[in-house]
Amino acid sequence: MFRSQWFFIVCAVSATLVPVLSTAQAKGSPSAEVTVNARHAVELAKTGHCKEAVPTLKRSLAHVADKDLKRDVGFAGVRCAMFADQPDAAIDFLRFLNHEFPNDPDVLYLAVHTYSDLSTRASAELASTAPNSYQSLELNAEAFEIQGKWDEAAKVYEHILKQDPNLPGIHYRLGRVLVSKPDFGPEVAEQAKAEFQKELQIDPSNAGAEYVLGELAKHNEQWDEAVQHFSHAAKLDASFGDAFVGWGGSLVSQKKFADAVLPLESAVKLEPQNPAAHYLLAIAYARSGRKEDGDRQFAIQRQLTQRGAAGEESSQPQPNPN
């Protein structure tokens, strides 16, 4: 199954192979010899002789000039490296393809399948070599999260914490699972809050824990506490746009409009397509006496909102005019 799947993927995206040049054509020309060897290696790869093909394919990467042949070498190299269980070589071939053919849909499609297969292999190896390790258990919990099985994921994280209650990251993940449940109540919120606080005792640099504590405080309109957590998250991670939005938005809710300007200016720089960030900044500007700046932000917010609405409308099924 695995071999046939990879053969289909590579053959579907590769151009038809050019016939191998004759030896007479190659004589006296090093570049022609490189071309002959590369095409021969691609042909070997196509017919499943990967052990023989990979060394020549590797050597060909830096020397082949023809664009189509470069493409064939790259695709054949990925296919054979995966068959030969050489993940480092497969990644090298993918890097080559991404460099030579940036944003190429075929290359990106191949990359998706390659990295997905590498991920599957690594998880299987982890499960077989260290099935009781916290890393293996954490991987199982993440799989439950992806499926929306919050209770199952929480039980796994709790089991990990019984083994080591001071393991970094696990209290945060458990708290995140608790607040991911639909319609979680105040009791669950308090339980999650306790988990995030434990996480910060173990790892004070966890910006995610600070951020979710800010969200919980905001939900309860505890604005001082929300500002404290959001601002701390933003200081821990200067690229955390949502933390700046939460920080500035909480200050706006407190009517501290002048104080809200700086974090919200950072928010719109980090998340220029976020209409909520522009809206909050517009309010902060307008209420701070900067009417023109506020009007500009309101205009941007309206454009983004209209664009988003138009995009949603275009994605909906259209009625048949007939």
pLDDT in tens, 57-108: 999 888 888 899 999 999 999 999 999 889 999 999 999 999 999 999 999 9
Phi then psi for residue 271, to 5 deg, are: -130, 70
Longest CA span, the chain: 83
Give the pLDDT band (50/70/90) at residue 51: confident
Q: Which CATH class is domain 130-204?
A: mainly alpha
Every domain of the chain with CATH number 1.25.40.10 lies at: 130-204, 225-310
pLDDT of residue 212: 98
Give the pLDDT band (50/70/90) at residue 137: very high
- Residue that wins the pLDDT comparison between 253 and 26: 253
Give the pLDDT band (50/70/90) at residue 21: very low
pLDDT of residue 32: 80
Runs of H (alpha helix) within the chain: 2-13, 23-26, 30-46, 50-60, 67-83, 87-100, 105-129, 134-146, 150-163, 170-180, 186-202, 207-219, 223-236, 241-253, 257-270, 275-287, 291-315
User: How far apart are the C-alpha atoms of 66 and 133, rounded to whole Å?
Assistant: 49
Least confident of 160-169, 285-294, 299-308, 310-319: 310-319
Q: Which CATH architecture has domain 2-128?
A: Alpha Horseshoe (1.25)
Give how far Cα 221 sits from Cα of 102, 158, 196, 238, 254, Å: 47, 30, 19, 25, 10
- Domain covering 225-310 assigned CATH 1.25.40.10 in the classification: yes
Least confident of 10-24, 213-227, 255-269: 10-24
pLDDT of residue 319: 44
Task: Give the pTM.
Answer: 0.74
pLDDT at residue 147 is higher than 90: yes
DSSP class of residue 316? S
pLDDT of residue 30: 57
| Cβ-contact 282, 297 below 8 angstroms | yes
pLDDT averaged over the chain? 87
Give the pLDDT band (50/70/90) at residue 288: very high
Q: What is the pLDDT of residues 97-113, one digit of tens each?
A: 999 999 999 999 999 99
Closest residue by Cα to residue 265 from 250, 287, 280:
280
Q: How many residues does the chain have?
A: 322
pLDDT of residue 284: 98
